[in-house]
Amino acid sequence: MKNIIRLLIITALCCISLPSTAQGKGEGLQRQAQESLTDKDYIRARYMFLQAYNAYMDAGQYAQGVACGVQAGALYHRENYYKEAFELLYKVEQNIIEGERKTGSPMPALRYPVTRERLQMYIKLRNAARAKEQLAKLQGWAESAQVDSLSTDLLYTQANYYYTFGQNQQGDAAFNALVQRYAQQKDYDKARACYQEMIGMGRRSGSTALVARAYDKYMAWNDSIRAIEAQEKYNDLKAQYEASLQTIAEKDDSLAARQYTIIGLCVLALILAAALVLGGIVLLRYIMQTRKQKKVIETVNEHNALKTQFIRNISAQMKPTLDTLDASQPGVRALSAFSDHIEELSALEDTLTEPYELEEVNVSAFCEGVMDQIRGTEKEGVALTVNAPKLTVKLNKEHVAKILVHLLRNAAEHTPAEGKIWLDFKKRGAHTHQFVVTDTGCGITEEQRANLFKPFSELKDLTKGDGLGLPICSLEATKMNGSLSLDTDYTKGARFVLELHA
């Protein structure tokens, strides 16, 4: 009996000491990781952070564990090991969810750094859609956590996202809010650092416009800060002078001075109280409007999903019936093609955020091959021209060719005899290039342009085409982080521009 009691006591002591031992181990591993990071030994630092992360999580120390896990993910990200980084962040997120379940309390402050690191990777990958999703989540975590440091970091992250994807107006708004926050705290050094970072961001991205705008803003802000500092010094001197006068006045009539002071404080208190009430009303109204708008957006998204599913179901139900009809009839062929296009359109909408794989392609040979696919379909005397340099770019060969062939077939169909059709390739930047299809056909009317890339925008004779080709091509371009547009400045026919970002 005594042996059993002794064994139970030892077991209990072990259970108590294990978490503290794991925590101490985690702290030691984290120190080693930081030392390796300081020495720029990134591989060892990443390994030690992973070990520290596991030790902290075993001890139930979620905050320290998340910090080490995110740091390890950032080091994966640094070496372009995106798969490992995403998997690690997912694992950290699952640990947080488990911690929330155990404690019964949400942990938005811990979710924030995980989402932020994932956002940085999508920004680096130039995946605008996924980056936008993570930015929305990041804002939600910051608002839920209600921590000033996270709110400040959110503004900086928003500015970085908007400038990266060319949304300069929103970027300026976020950046101005960040600078204003530091200015209100009179932390002018951090505000200056923000402007310098903005200038550095423009230099790294090669955007002279961003550098110039940031420099102009910095000079204007710096001048205003100098004026504010001078005004503050003046106010200090003025306050000292007024204090001296007040001292003299108090010596003359201390009672009257005290009465005036009390009256002034009461008036100030009333003004502050009124300002607080007004601010509370404005804030409450803003919160109510935000919730209402969020609900409307959710409802619209649900309706769009239901509409897509409904159209897909109709297409699927039509297929067996069409298979029993005479496929040689033009109407049957048109309905069958329409059904296939609906399924393709729905599939693209469902997988729009899943990017295609890219490969190195010789542009000149690729463009010649695409043009060869439509040779013989053009009218008599139509000249087919390819203007593409002999260089390689990264793209999805299959889907880019699919878009270009569709555009060239349309051009061949609508270009009269002795006309011309061009396929041009243009390099627009380090990671941006365009394929341009031009013809001298009948062109596209003003009425047709508005709904050119919108499916089901008007009734059509299906035997003459269902009008889904261009919407499908537009979705294909979006899925490749690009866009398909009509050049409205070209008036001698039609010109379509496929712009891709590698």
Tell me the domains of the chain and their CATH numbers: 22-226 (1.25.40.10), 356-501 (3.30.565.10)
- The reported pLDDT for the residue numbered 465 is 64
Report yes or no: 49 and 30 within 8 Å, Cβ to Cβ: yes
Alpha helices in 59-107 (DSSP H): 62-78, 82-103
pLDDT at 293: 72
Which H or E run includes 393?
A: strand 392-395
Residue-wise DSSP of 431-448: SEEEEEEEE-SS---HHH
| Per-residue pLDDT band at 16 (split at 50, 70, 90) | very low
Whether 296 has a pLDDT exceeding 70, the answer reads no
Least confident of 288-292, 304-308, 331-335: 304-308
Mean pLDDT over all residues of the chain? Answer: 81
Evaluate if residue 44 carries a pLDDT over 90: yes
Q: Would the pLDDT of 228 be above 80?
A: no
Residue 432 confidence (pLDDT): 92
Given a cut of 50, whether residue 139 has pLDDT beyond it is yes
CA end-to-end distance (rounded Å), the chain = 74
Alpha-carbon span 91 to 63, nearest angstrom: 14
Question: In whole angstroms, what is the distance from residue 233 CA to residue 241 CA?
Answer: 12
429: pLDDT confidence band, cut at 50, 70 and 90?
confident
pLDDT for 17 equals 44
Per-residue pLDDT at 366 exceeds 90 = yes
Task: Using the predicted structure, report yes or no on whether residue 391 has a pLDDT greater than 60.
Answer: yes
Closest alpha carbon to 225 in 190, 175, 199:
190
DSSP letter assigned to residue 61: -
What's the confidence (pLDDT) of residue 502? 75
Residue 298 or residue 494, greater confidence: 494
Statement: residue 327 has pLDDT above 80: no
Residue 324 in tokens = 């029993």
More confident residue, 386 or 197: 386
Range with the largest mean pLDDT of 103-112, 167-176, 229-238, 347-356: 103-112
Dist. CA 389–CA 364, nearest whole Å: 6
In angstroms, the Cα distances linking 96 to 20, 60, 118, 149 are: 20, 10, 15, 20
The answer to whether 330 and 463 are in contact (CB under 8 A) is yes
pLDDT at 304 over 60: no
Q: Assess whether pLDDT exceeds 50 at residue 303.
A: no
Residue 3 has pLDDT above 60, yes or no: no
Q: How confident is the model at residue 485 (pLDDT cuts 50, 70, 90)?
A: very high
Q: Does the structure show a pLDDT above 60 at 297?
A: no
Q: Please indicate whether residue 94 or residue 302 has the higher confidence score (pLDDT).
A: 94
SS3 468: coil
As a whole number, mean pLDDT of residues 259-284 equals 85
Q: Are strands 392-395 and 482-486 parallel, antiparallel or unpaired?
A: unpaired
Looking at residues 245-272, what average pLDDT do you find?
A: 81
Q: Which helix (H) or strand (E) holds 424?
A: strand 420-427
Whether 8 shows a pLDDT value over 50: the answer reads: no
In whole angstroms, give the CA distance from residue 118 to residue 135. 10
Percent of the chain with pLDDT over 90: 32
Q: Is the pLDDT of residue 158 over 60?
A: yes
Q: What is the pLDDT of residue 12?
A: 45
Strongest mean pLDDT among 164-168, 224-228, 255-259, 310-314: 164-168
- Asked if 362 and 405 count as a contact pair (C-beta separation under 8 A), the reply is no
Are the CB atoms for 473 and 452 separated by under 8 Å?
no
Other beta carbons less than 10 A from residue 77's beta carbon: 20
> Model confidence at 470, in pLDDT bands (50, 70, 90)?
confident
Task: Please state, in angstroms and as integers, the Cα–Cα distance from residue 236 to each residue in 135, 226, 232, 243, 409, following that order.
Answer: 43, 15, 6, 10, 77
Report the pLDDT averaged over residues 384-404.
92
Question: Any residues with CB less than 8 A from the CB of 231 and at least 6 apart, and which?
Answer: none
